[in-house]
Structure 1
Amino acid sequence: GMGLTGFDNGKQTYQTLSMDNMGTGMMAGEGTYDPGKKQLTDQGRFTDPMVGQRGYRGVVTLIDDDHYRYEMYAADQNGKEFRMMEILYTRIN
């Protein structure tokens, strides 16, 4: 997959856009950065091929200068949030 993250000066929020080869749609979100936690959290909606439209919450945690983690959460049929995905990134020099 591929993702883009940018800061919207007008809204004072971060904007995210991602796509991958698991579907034909793009996923867009909006969020904020917490410098104390070193986390960018965004929320948005995407089309799940199994259930249709659903909301998500994404969390990017900056671990150090060379590592960060992305976690994606969604709610199950009963409304309980669960982690759908976790990706650990490492900078390659």
Structure 2
Amino acid sequence: MNQSILFSDDLTVDLDNQCVRFSAQQMGSLINCLVLFSWLEEESGEPVCSQEKACEIFNHLRFDIEDTAEALIEDEEFNASGEIEIS
């Protein structure tokens, strides 16, 4: 794991945008990240039917999510809003 990218334990379920939001820090800069419910469902094989279920699946897949986000950050694959989006 690249120690220059640190992931915090913050986690927010965004029902309007069907995603879970979390953050990372790289060299002191805060990077907003999100993972779409559709990705969580595909990876887990379970439907995201509530905020609680979204958190449960996210936490179960946390290491995979962080690895994916780390690769996207290193490749500077930011979306139009300047966020890292796992979809």
Please identify which structure carries the higher helix content: 2
Q: Name the structure, 1 or 2, with higher relative contact order (CA <8 Å, separation 6+).
A: 2
Structure number with larger C-alpha Rg: 1
Please identify which structure carries the higher strand content: 1
Tell me which interval the TM-score lies in, with the shorter structure as reference length. 0.3 to 0.5
TM-score, reference length from structure 2: 0.39
